[in-house]
Amino acid sequence: MIKPHGSDALNPLFVYDPQEHHELTHEAENLPSMMLTSAAAANAVMLGGGYFNPLTGYMNLADAISVAENMKTTDGVFWPTPVLNLTDDVSTIRGHKRIALKDPNVEGHPILAVMDVADIEEASDEELNLIAEKTFGTLDGEHPGVAAFMAQGRYVVSGTIRVLNFSYFQQDFPDTFRTAVEIRNEIAEHGWNKIVAFQTRNPMHLAHEELCHMAMERTGADGLVIHMLLGKLKPGDIPAPVRDAAIRKMVDLYFPPNSAMVTGYGFDMLYAGPREAVLHAVFRQNMGATHFIIGRDHAGVGDYYGAFEAQEIFDTIPAGTLEIEIFKADHTAWSKKLNKVVMMCEAPDHTKEDFVLLSGTKVREMLGRGEAPPAEFSRPEVAKILIDYYQSK
């Protein structure tokens, strides 16, 4: 199986030993504590599950700046986006070297992790702006990723962590949430050797389904991991339970047995375009995928990124940095001429009118009226689930 990024074996930060987990949980109850932001909590979940291998905790300010500028930590570890624990209040933890980290997203705010504090630093406006601009490519406050980053606070609390639970993800998504450790184990159980990973934060329409089939055929893959984001999205995005149901229905009906896994991960979307595409590739390698589909405007939002910037950034990464291979995809759509889904770049004799193309707004309007999109756009069984959601709002 493909090696994880940065080490020979995966090193998840979750405390799996029952005795150690019990002792650390008891200790944490008496430690000074801080409330995490949602983004920092998501980072802890990803660190706990092994997705952020080989990192051992939250970055300090120097590492965050180095990663933002060069996609490397100060020690030379390749990493595309800062992994930070930012806050606007350090009064409860200042002067303490071991603290408990509380979960902001679960009622009662249980302790998510225990942290050995290496440093507490105050970032300047210039430093925060540098990190944001290099990571997101903009300082526009209308960009949801920039807005979320800037709202977290200016104190950088860095250090190693030990994770005690996976927040709300295991409870809310017991059939879907998986750690990188679990996905590696399931891949081995399936006996797959080449594995394509597909990232989604939306339901999958026919074009997405066919793109996965194309990628598997062209790479010779024997397995597909549909890996959906289960964390915080921007307003208006379809909730994870609805996406989950729609995707499972598609896989059950239109993929051969033992060829596709439907899984999810606990992270808040950054909407960082090219940088987030690289992050997605890193943690897909950590979960055991050998290939990863990157389509048009991957992890983008609005008009902040060019259509293929998320693919082009991989051409700037030194050879050998990542073992996972990128399957670069164009927009896929139903061809009226060929009566099948094709990549638009592979149909040079087509005009826009030769494809079945519907905007997201148009699709939402149709679903809201109880109308299924045409069969060339969406499977009817998937459309039914989405219609039920939109009409229940």
Per residue in 28-65, pLDDT (tens digit) is: 999 999 999 999 999 999 999 999 999 999 999 999 99
Per residue in 318-364, pLDDT (tens digit) is: 999 999 999 999 999 999 999 999 999 999 999 999 999 998 889 98
Per residue in 81-92, pLDDT (tens digit) is: 999 999 999 999
Share of the chain above pLDDT 90, in %: 90
Domain ranges across the chain: 18-170, 173-392
Indicate the pLDDT class of residue 233, thresholds 50, 70 and 90. Answer: low
The interaxial angle of helices 360-368 and 380-392, nearest 10 deg, is 70
Pairing mode, strands 155-163 and 86-87: antiparallel
- Beta-carbon neighbour count of residue 108 at 10 Å? 6
Average model confidence (pLDDT) across the chain: 95
- In the DSSP assignment, the letter for residue 8 is S
* Catalytic, out of 98, 201, 248, 364: 201
Average pLDDT over residues 240-259: 93
Per residue in 83-123, pLDDT (tens digit) is: 999 999 999 999 999 999 999 999 999 999 999 999 999 99
Residue 201 has pLDDT above 90, yes or no: no
Where does residue 325 rank: exposed (0-12), middle (13-18), buried (19+ CB within 10 A)?
Answer: middle
CATH 3.40.350.10 holds for 18-170: no
Residue 199 confidence (pLDDT): 95
Beta strands in the chain (DSSP E): 33-35, 57-58, 86-87, 98-102, 111-122, 155-163, 195-200, 223-229, 260-265, 291-294, 325-328, 332-335, 340-343, 355-356
- In the DSSP assignment, the letter for residue 72 is B
Q: Is there a contact between 371 and 362 (Cβ–Cβ < 8 Å)? A: no
Q: Does the active-site annotation cover 165?
A: no
Q: Does the active-site annotation cover 30?
A: no
* Catalytic, out of 129, 154, 202, 248: 202
The residues facing 228 across adjacent strands are 200, 264
Indicate the pLDDT class of residue 285, thresholds 50, 70 and 90. Answer: very high
Nearest Cα neighbor of 243 from 284, 280, 204 is: 204
Architecture of domain 173-392: 3-Layer(aba) Sandwich (3.40)
